[in-house]
Structure 1
Amino acid sequence: METLQDKSQYLNKIIKGYGSVLVAFSGGADSTLLLKSALDALGDRVLAVTARSEIYPPGEAEEASEIARSLGAEHLILKTGGLKSPAFAGNPPDRCYHCKKELYEKLNSLARERGLNYVADGVNADDASDYRPGMRAGVEAGVRTPLKQANLTKRDIYALSREMGLPTAHKPANPCLASRFPYGTEITPEALDMVHKSEAFLKSLGYTPLRVRHHGHLARIEVPPDRMESVLRDAERITAAIKTIGYIYVTLDLRGFRSGSMNETLEDRLRLY
């Protein structure tokens, strides 16, 4: 039976084979483990790069920079188009493909400029179980996925992160803010700001993990089932704050927090990965 140590050693072997690598670094648990593993295997032949655009929460790129530098990595922040692409802003089901396509093209170009052999990202072994069109862009761009290749699951990644003392060992996943919008709903800077401020307020009350899904004038809150009673106790305070941000209606999703809940509206034929 394959152990966690076996997977870790295999990951090290895969990355050593790259010779040099540019790591697409979000600052989350997956990419932090990947970056640390790359630094251990390749030393200074590693560059970490974080994308910045309006679809990411303010300050996220700077936080990623702090993590990368704390690990001893060279780090760059790369501006990407985000909502400037009509194919993305219109929010079709393959929205992530268009975003990742642009990002990977820029990362490949930067890797060539810096003399780095490959671009790698933090896709893991569990990601194939959800609809992730961005993975198709990665395949087309030749982006390496060493965590997935080493069969590291999200649980494995958190376990290894704890063993290695990484600052993201308990950090919940936080995909871009565009994932809070139903497919087909236009994504605007104003709506992204409403989502960000609503989630930031709830986090200030200690609710995490969580999502605030944007349905026009309605904010749909997702928290784990064991936190629902607490949300209801705080209902008046939460409702008042989120209405101040710009929503008219504030609801609690009775199914609770679940990553990728917007994909529930997709037909099976769209599940490409």
Structure 2
Amino acid sequence: MMPLESKERKLFEIIGRYKNALVAFSGGLDSAIVLWASVKALGHDNVWAVTSNSASLPEDEEREARLLAGEIGLPAEKHIIITTDEINDPNYRQNPIDRCYFCKKELFDKLKELSSQLGAEVVFDGANLSDLGDYRPGRKAAEEFQVVSPLLEAELTKDDLRGLARKYKLSFSEKPAAACLASRIPHGTEVTKERLRQIDTAESALRKLGFTGFRVRYHNDVARLEFRPEDIIRVLENGVKDKIVAEMKKAGFRYVALDLEGYRQGSLNQNLKSGEKR
């Protein structure tokens, strides 16, 4: 296995092939590392960050992305906010197993158009080696639009990214993994703005109660809560359970279930048959 130092050198070599770059920047750990490395390798005058504002993203994500881009050293005028409309695509809304393809197709289509207007030579995303361990239909869209994934090319895993962020004392080194709100809705259940906001409200309440690394999975009237194993006991202590139940019902759920398996990334993909993953 390649040591982290070698992967880091490879990352900067990959980015250095280009004179400028547009980074698909969600504000999560992965895209933050790409933006940080791009600014470091190419200079902030030669980098744009683009954050998508859509119904499938938490309401506070845009604000967090703006703060993080500024911390990385990108001038405010080089951070662009766009609106994507995947929620209006019936292919996306029907929530098939390849829903992410339609979301990424909408995003990359707009990023390619914007990169052409700005004169950006390449579009980077934050895909990394660990993503290959889960079903990721959005990769097909990245390939179709010739989006470059420098972290993936450098063979960097999620653990590597945290290690790199710690090495350079970046504030986002411990930022929990994030995914669009639609990933909380089982395939085949329609994605609507109302359901996305309901999930966002519920997860925001859990963050205010001090939880990180969790998911609220939508099952119609039921909120199925996935917590980190170390937090499951905390849920049952000091009246926390009653606070959670009250907040979930306030968000619009009738019943609240605690998943004893705990939080696991892509849990709604675990029951997909291999033949379905196209």
Normalised by the size of structure 1, how large is the TM-score? 0.97
Say whether residues 1:77 and 2:68 are aligned partners. Answer: no
Structure-2 separation of matches of 1:241 and 1:87: 32
Q: Which residue of 2 aligns with 1:236?
A: 242
Per-residue Cα deviation, 1:107-143 (whole angstroms, up to 9, x for no partner): 0111111111110100001111110001110011100
* RMSD of Structure 2 on Structure 1 (CA): 1.1
Structure-2 separation of matches of 1:3 and 1:57: 35
Structure-2 separation of matches of 1:167 and 1:64: 13
Letter in 2 for 1:149: E
How many residues align? The count is 272
Q: CA deviation at 1:182?
A: 0.3
Q: Which residue of 1 aligns with 2:16?
A: 16
The partner residue of 2:136 within 132, 135, 138 is: 132
Q: CA deviation at 1:165?
A: 2.1
Q: CA deviation at 1:205?
A: 1.4
Structure-1 separation of matches of 2:37 and 2:247: 42
Say whether residues 1:86 and 2:87 are aligned partners. Answer: no
Structure-2 separation of matches of 1:238 and 1:32: 31
Contact map agreement 2:97 2:277 (CA 8 A) in 1: no
Q: Which residue of 2 aligns with 1:33?
A: 33
Contact map agreement 2:69 2:79 (CA 8 A) in 1: yes
Say whether residues 1:51 and 2:52 are aligned partners. Answer: yes
Normalised by the size of structure 2, how large is the TM-score? 0.95
Percent sequence identity is 44
Runs of 4+ in 1 over 3 A off after TM superposition: none
Q: CA deviation at 1:269?
A: 1.2
Contact map agreement 1:33 1:166 (CA 8 A) in 2: no
The partner residue of 1:251 within 257, 264, 274 is: 257
Contact map agreement 1:65 1:76 (CA 8 A) in 2: no
Q: CA deviation at 1:236?
A: 2.0
Contact map agreement 1:194 1:245 (CA 8 A) in 2: yes
Structure-1 separation of matches of 2:169 and 2:117: 33
The partner residue of 1:100 within 76, 100, 104 is: 104
Q: CA deviation at 1:171?
A: 0.1
Contact map agreement 2:128 2:158 (CA 8 A) in 1: yes
Structure-1 separation of matches of 2:38 and 2:8: 12
Q: CA deviation at 1:70?
A: 2.1
Structure-2 separation of matches of 1:269 and 1:152: 28
